[in-house]
């Protein structure tokens, strides 16, 4: 029986059939798989069997097991959701779901390595739509996410200016800040934070002036910022940076650009953000894709590490084709000699976002943006009526998201969010760890999916939870 078990192939491990395993070992010239791991020191090796359950060999039993596990989750279809902070619950039009599942686009990871069935044209159309939205002419295919996009702009700015210091607004997403520090450190080893005004949530101009010097290559800020605050002094900030030969990179929620001026109009050199709000369903925190936009100038184009798509005449008179622009810039072509290493691309999400923008049009984006402004204003006012709750925390205009402070309730955000689950409500994102100076505060998000009744229900549930 022991010998039989030893000779059996493992259901989850490829090439575990004994005969195949022996053939593989013979091919690479070793007697045992253990020889592969011989360089690992003994003190780093596990001395006991892994504490995992036995393999489920029945397909039916395995499916039932996984289904039982998944049934323990509570999702946004069952619960009322006010979480945001990087992945947002927006309405996904049926056509976006259809396009995402089309065979022609399912392999739209990068493009060149796969057969093209209109992916290049679709990417060009997507880039054109983003360009219209941010009023910039050069747009890349989506990177992995917004965090990678903004970190890439920092590296681009460093190469363009020959400087090694970057300024970053404190009012940005902690996750994006982490990526900037991780990804951009070799280009900008000196990263300094610029404070925000604790009363308004706006960038502290005086602090920016004190930290702006001739070795600064860029300031990265967000508008609306991570707290949902709309930055109203973009032109002043851009002028300060440009007076020192530095550049301005602005992260945006694309849905805000139906009602807010695009960064290019107040002097930004880079615009970046995430396509997820535009027809991409939430997927366990995924469904992301970061865009970068700049003016169509050689000094910018030369520094893009990511793929760019353009249109050109073919050998046939009157015929046009779509393809990659200056491919040699990328690590796919130049490997270690490229500007930066290019990893995961989210072309499929870009294609879907292009469909979403075409579907909405300028008027649709305007109406959506207005609705999000109104909902955020109403929600903040409604929650502020709950005793002990202050909303919004900052005295500024907000888009889609706003901060709520619970210090007056004598309860922590964690306690409140746990209690809200009994009302089938996902509360706001807890900010107390990342922004301790804000006390017990949370970031709440409202979208076009939230009705007045939904917001009222949240306020009533909060009143019940805080017991005041």
Domain span holding position 146: 94-356
332-357 burial, b at 16+ Cβ within 10 Å, e below that, comes to beeeeeebbebeebbbbbbbbbbbbb
Of 444, 391, 398, nearest in space to 84 by CA: 444
Find out whether 273 and 254 touch, Cβ atoms under 8 Å. yes
pLDDT of 1 higher than 50: no
Residue corresponding to tokens 């604790």: 198
- Asked whether residue 48 is assigned to any structural domain, the reply reads yes
Up-side HSE of residue 407: CA atoms within 13 Å toward CB? 14
SS3 (DSSP) at 272: strand
| pLDDT above 70 as % of the chain | 96
pLDDT tens per residue across span 151-189: 999 999 999 999 999 999 999 999 999 999 999 999 999
pLDDT at residue 2 in the model? 45
CA distance 389 to 396: 17
CATH of the domain at 419: 3.90.1150.10
Same domain for 296 and 271?
yes
pTM, to two decimals? 0.88
| pLDDT above 90 as % of the chain | 72
> Average pLDDT for residues 34-38, to the nearest whole number?
86
Backbone region of residue 196 per phi and psi (left: phi > 0; alpha: psi in -120 to 50; beta: other values): beta
pLDDT tens per residue across span 118-164: 888 899 999 999 999 999 999 998 999 999 999 999 999 999 999 99
Of 209, 193, 290, nearest in space to 246 by CA: 209
Up-side HSE of residue 26: CA atoms within 13 Å toward CB? 6
- Asked whether residue 361 is assigned to any structural domain, the reply reads no
Same domain for 310 and 456?
no
- Asked whether residue 270 is assigned to any structural domain, the reply reads yes
> Average pLDDT for residues 388-414, to the nearest whole number?
97
Residue corresponding to tokens 């910039």: 136
Same domain for 184 and 325?
yes
The conformation of residue 296, written as its DSSP 8-state character, comes to S
SS3 (DSSP) at 323: strand
Same domain for 346 and 208?
yes
CA distance 330 to 111: 13
Q: Which residue has the higher pLDDT, 33 or 191?
A: 191
CA distance 110 to 303: 19
pLDDT at residue 110 in the model? 55
- Asked whether residue 362 is assigned to any structural domain, the reply reads no
Same domain for 424 and 338?
no
The conformation of residue 111, written as its DSSP 8-state character, comes to S
> Average pLDDT for residues 255-273, to the nearest whole number?
97
Q: Which two tokens stand for residue 8?
A: 């059996």
Same domain for 139 and 211?
yes
- Asked whether residue 75 is assigned to any structural domain, the reply reads no
pLDDT of 459 higher than 80: yes
SS3 (DSSP) at 248: strand
- Asked whether residue 122 is assigned to any structural domain, the reply reads yes
* Cα 40-45-51 angle, rounded to 5 deg: 145
pLDDT tens per residue across span 301-327: 999 998 888 898 889 999 988 888 888
Same domain for 13 and 107?
no
Same domain for 135 and 271?
yes
Which of residues 325, 356, 387 is at a domain's end? 356
CA distance 363 to 136: 19
Same domain for 172 and 38?
no
Same domain for 303 and 392?
no
CATH of the domain at 275: 3.40.640.10
Give the DSSP H/E element, type plus range, for residue 81. strand 80-81
Number of domains observed in the structure of the chain: 3
Same domain for 375 and 310?
no
CA distance 176 to 181: 9
Find out whether 309 and 137 touch, Cβ atoms under 8 Å. no
């Amino acid at each position: 029986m022991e010998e039989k078990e030893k000779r059996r192939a493992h259901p989850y491990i490829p090439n575990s059939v004994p005969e195949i395993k022996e053939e593989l070992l013979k091919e690479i010239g070793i007697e045992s798989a253990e020889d592969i791991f011989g360089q690992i020191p003994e003190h780093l090796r596990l001395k006991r069997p892994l504490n995992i359950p036995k393999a489920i060999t029945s397909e039916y039993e395995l499916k039932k097991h996984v289904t039982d596990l998944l049934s323990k989750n509570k999702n946004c279809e069952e619960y009322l959701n006010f979480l945001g902070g990087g992945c947002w619950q927006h309405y996904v039009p049926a056509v976006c779901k259809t396009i995402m599942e089309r065979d022609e686009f399912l392999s739209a990871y990068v493009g060149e390595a796969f057969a093209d069935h209109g992916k290049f044209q679709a990417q060009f159309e997507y880039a054109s739509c983003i360009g219209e939205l941010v009023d910039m002419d050069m747009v890349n295919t989506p990177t992995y996410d917004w965090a990678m996009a903004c970190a890439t702009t920092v590296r681009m700015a460093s190469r363009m200016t020959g400087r090694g210091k970057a300024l970053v607004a404190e009012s940005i997403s902690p996750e994006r800040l982490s990526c900037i520090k991780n990804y951009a450190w070799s280009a900008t080893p000196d990263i300094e934070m610029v404070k925000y005004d604790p009363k308004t949530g706006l960038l502290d101009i005086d602090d920016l002036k004190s930290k702006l010097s001739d070795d600064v290559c860029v300031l990265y800020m967000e508008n609306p910022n991570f707290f949902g605050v709309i930055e109203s002094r973009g032109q002043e900030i851009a002028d300060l940076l440009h007076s020192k030969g530095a550049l301005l990179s602005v992260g945006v929620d694309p849905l805000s650009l139906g009602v807010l001026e695009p960064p290019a109009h107040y002097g930004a050199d880079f615009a970046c953000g995430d396509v997820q709000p535009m027809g991409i369903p939430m997927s366990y925190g995924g469904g992301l894709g970061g865009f970068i936009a700049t003016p169509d100038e050689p000094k910018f184009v030369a520094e893009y590490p990511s793929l760019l798509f353009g249109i050109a005449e073919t050998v046939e008179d009157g015929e046009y084709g779509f393809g990659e622009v200056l491919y040699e810039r990328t690590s796919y072509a130049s490997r270690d000699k490229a500007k930066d290493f290019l990893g995961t691309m989210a072309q499929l999400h870009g294609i879907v976002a292009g469909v979403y923008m075409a579907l909405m049009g300028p008027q649709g984006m305007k109406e959506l943006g207005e609705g999000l402004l109104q909902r955020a204003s109403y929600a903040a006012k409604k929650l502020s009526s709950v005793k002990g709750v202050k909303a919004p925390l900052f005295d500024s205009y907000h888009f889609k998201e706003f901060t709520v402070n619970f210090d007056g309730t004598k309860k922590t955000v964690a306690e409140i969010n746990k209690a809200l689950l009994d009302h089938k409500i996902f509360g706001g994102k807890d900010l107390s760890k990342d922004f301790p100076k804000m006390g017990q505060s949370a970031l709440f998000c409202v979208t076009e999916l939230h009705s007045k009744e939904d917001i009222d229900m949240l306020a009533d549930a909060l009143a019940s939870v805080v017991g005041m």
